[in-house]
Chains A and B, each alone.
Chain A
Amino acid sequence: MNLLGLSWKNIMNKPLNLLLSMVLFGLGIGLINALLLMDHQMKEQFDNNLAGIDMVIGAKGSPLQMILCSMYHIDNPTGNISIGEAKPFLNPKHPLIATAVPLALGDSHESYRIVGTDYSILSLYEAKIGEGKLWEQHFDVTIGRVVADETGLKIGDRFQSSHGFTHDEDLIHEHEDGFKVVGILEPTGSVIDQLILTTTKSIWDVHGHEEAEESHDDHDHAEHDHEHDAAGFNLLDYPDQDITNILVKFRNRTNFQSLSLPRNINENTDMQAASPPIEINRLYSMIGVGVDALRNIAIIIALVSAFSIFISLFSSLKDRKYELALMRVMGAGRNKLFLLIILEGMLLALLGFIVGFIISHIGMEVIAHYAKASYRYSFTGFLFLKAELVILAVSLLIGVIAALIPAIQAYRTDIHETLSK
């Protein structure tokens, strides 16, 4: 039985005080820790999906919406741009642009977005084929690992696409045999895991077919013939067709001309260009207001709980003044009494931290479940950060501060006066 053991027994001897302190402290710390976990994972996800993209070009509208749509695939497009207008930026010989990845959006399957694009998208996310092969023919698709796991699609399976981003039976395009799965990508941990990749022309064809049906136009099927052989397909040969966005990597991102290119596009074309890091920082700062408010509430809860630890220790001192005097009689120095109370404060804080730690990780796992269902983002409650050690240290410090005044009182215990009463 040492001082730590005695401290432990003392706090366990007052279960109601212990419960109150643990619940209050646990809530405060739990909220702070959950915010930390969420913030970290959100930034990690956003950063992963930045994929070195320097600029996104698309239709005029909200630049943030365009970024969220084209890079994170959690929003709708701002509109389409014509290939004729975007042609200079798709030119492989552009002096400033190293990579330009065209995206044609508009359809999905079971809420997983179908992206008409070319193979250059693979290099952005360092994706490799895992099973089967890459899309070659029109209406061939190569799917991300998450899509395969969640929808159960296998190589050789066929499916019809649905218009828009949400799964709705009424919006399904009926198109011959539909899309055919020819390959599955290896998992990358980035957004490409959640995409269905196909040729741009497949997207045009799906919509062209639908528009033709809707207008009952006397449609020349030969003209609308789906060139199911993608070989030789060149986007630049279709200046009248539309795409949704272009993801751009500069040859030199610090080059002045590169830096001023987005402004030039915004000022001199009907398109808009946006820088992903700037927009994401803007998003962080918008979310940050809410996060800061929550964090402040959590800090207030933690401070209230620190006060409850103080009250708990302070009131217990009145009941335990004889105990403390007895300890002095039995040979304990003033320092030991001081340390005993400090240890009790730290133990209360530690238990509160443990409760908060468990609450935050379970809470994060619950949020992860909903985030995955709603946004296809894979958060987890089983991530443990070094910053949590800092929260532990701060919790213990709060315990020490809350116990300080009671500990000083214990230190000043007058044995004679106490035992004479």
Chain B
Amino acid sequence: MLSTKNLSYSYNNSNWINFPDLECKADQRYLIIGQSGTGKTTFLHLLAGLLKPKKGSVLINDADLSRMSGPSLDKFRGDNIGIIFQQTHFMDALNVEENLMIAQKLAGHAVNKAEITQILDKLNIAHKQTSKTKNLSQGEKQRVAIARALINKPVVILADEPTSALDDKNCLEVVDLLERTADDANATLLIVTHDNRLMEHFPNQIKLS
């Protein structure tokens, strides 16, 4: 479960961005919407522990991220939070399988090739297991990024504008994929977006202004 309380952040200690309190249960999906400049990415980074809140708290399964720092926060993030970014970035020197292996390793998990094959199979990308990520199409890259976010069975999946660069067909595909994989993992799914096409798919919407 993910919750926030009195969360606010300021880059210059004068203009504060206040975020709504959240109470997100496991296996539920949320859409965080708002126009550019409303702090969507900042909010997502606060939820992921990539930014330390100036005020308020972020709790994931009762663990307060705002009180964590250093290696314990890094470990917690790797173990419990899967993040999908708008731009897909990978370790260029590694192939698809190795990118997932390093994700397992860095989270402190044992490398499990069977799990990697399984998740790539679910995402219909298993045939690209040994391909270099730079040789993948945009759609394939998006699937690999989702696989990487899910490989460590996170309790929270955060997606930052996952569909903004996609056409309608691919947009629907990615939404479907995210929903299915979050269901399979029994994880809370939060999508930060300004893509209106997603509105009808996610009834739980949190608007930032």
Interface residues of A (CB under 8 A from B): 1-2, 6, 9-10, 12-13, 320, 322-323, 325-336, 415-416, 419-420
Contacts and interface: CB of A to CB of B under 8 A. Distances in A.
B179 interface: no
A416 B74 contact: no
Given A1-B111, A9-B98, A416-B50, A333 B93 contact: no
B94 A331 contact: no
Closest A-B pairs by Cβ, 6 of them: A331-B78, A13-B93, A322-B89, A9-B93, A331-B107, A330-B106
B101 A330 contact: no
A12 B94 CA distance: 10
Nearest to A328: B74
Given A331-B78, A332-B74, A415 B50 contact: yes
A26 B37 CA distance: 52
Given A10-B93, A328-B50, A334-B74, 13 more contacts: A6-B102, A9-B94, A323-B89, A327-B106, A330-B77, A330-B106, A331-B74, A331-B75, A331-B106, A332-B106, A333-B74, A336-B106, A420-B41
Contact of B77 (A13, A329, A416): A329
Given A13-B92, A333-B70, A333-B74, A416 B107 contact: no
Given A330-B78, A331-B75, A331-B79, A420 B45 contact: yes
Nearest to A336: B106
- Among B83, B87, B89, B111, chain A packs the most CB atoms within 10 A around the CB of B89
Nearest to A329: B83
Range of interface residues on B (Cβ < 8 Å): 20 to 34
13 contacts: A1-B111, A9-B91, A326-B90, A328-B74, A329-B48, A330-B103, A331-B107, A332-B106, A334-B70, A335-B71, A416-B50, A420-B42, A420-B45
B85 interface: yes
Interface in B21-58: 41-42, 45, 48, 50-51
Contact of B91 (A323, A336, A420): A323
Contacts of B79: 331
Contact of B85 (A12, A416, A419): A419
Contacts of A9: 91, 93-94, 98
A326 B89 contact: yes
B43 to A, nearest CB: 12
B105 interface: yes
Interface in B97-156: 98, 101-103, 105-108, 111, 148
Given A336-B106, A415-B50, A416-B45, A331 B77 contact: yes
Given A12-B93, A416-B45, A333 B85 contact: no
A419 B77 CA distance: 15
A325 B92 CA distance: 14
B105 A1 contact: yes
Contacts of B101: 1
Nearest to B151: A330
A399 B182 CA distance: 44
A9 to B, nearest CB: 4
A109 B102 CA distance: 70
Contact of B102 (A322, A330, A416, A420): A330
A156 to B, nearest CB: 70
Contact of A6 (B50, B77, B94, B108): B94
Most buried by B among A13, A327, A330: A330
A206 B91 CA distance: 81
Given A2-B105, A328-B74, A330-B107, A419 B50 contact: yes
A1 B50 contact: no
Contacts of A327: 102, 106
A151 to B, nearest CB: 59
A328 B85 CA distance: 14
Interface in B148-172: 148
A268 to B, nearest CB: 78
Nearest to A415: B50
Contacts of A328: 50, 74
Contacts of A336: 106
Contacts of B106: 327, 330-332, 336
Nearest to A330: B106
B71 A333 contact: yes
A406 B173 CA distance: 40
Nearest to B46: A416
Nearest to B77: A331
A278 B74 CA distance: 66
Nearest to A419: B85
A195 B107 CA distance: 71
B4 to A, nearest CB: 17
Nearest to B103: A330
Nearest to A9: B93
A118 to B, nearest CB: 72
B136 to A, nearest CB: 16
A415 B77 CA distance: 13
User: Which of B41, B75, B77 gathers the greatest number of chain A CB atoms within 10 Å?
Assistant: B77
Contacts of B74: 328, 331-334
Contacts of B102: 1, 6, 327, 330
Contacts of B103: 330
A329 B151 CA distance: 13
Contacts of A335: 71
B101 to A, nearest CB: 4
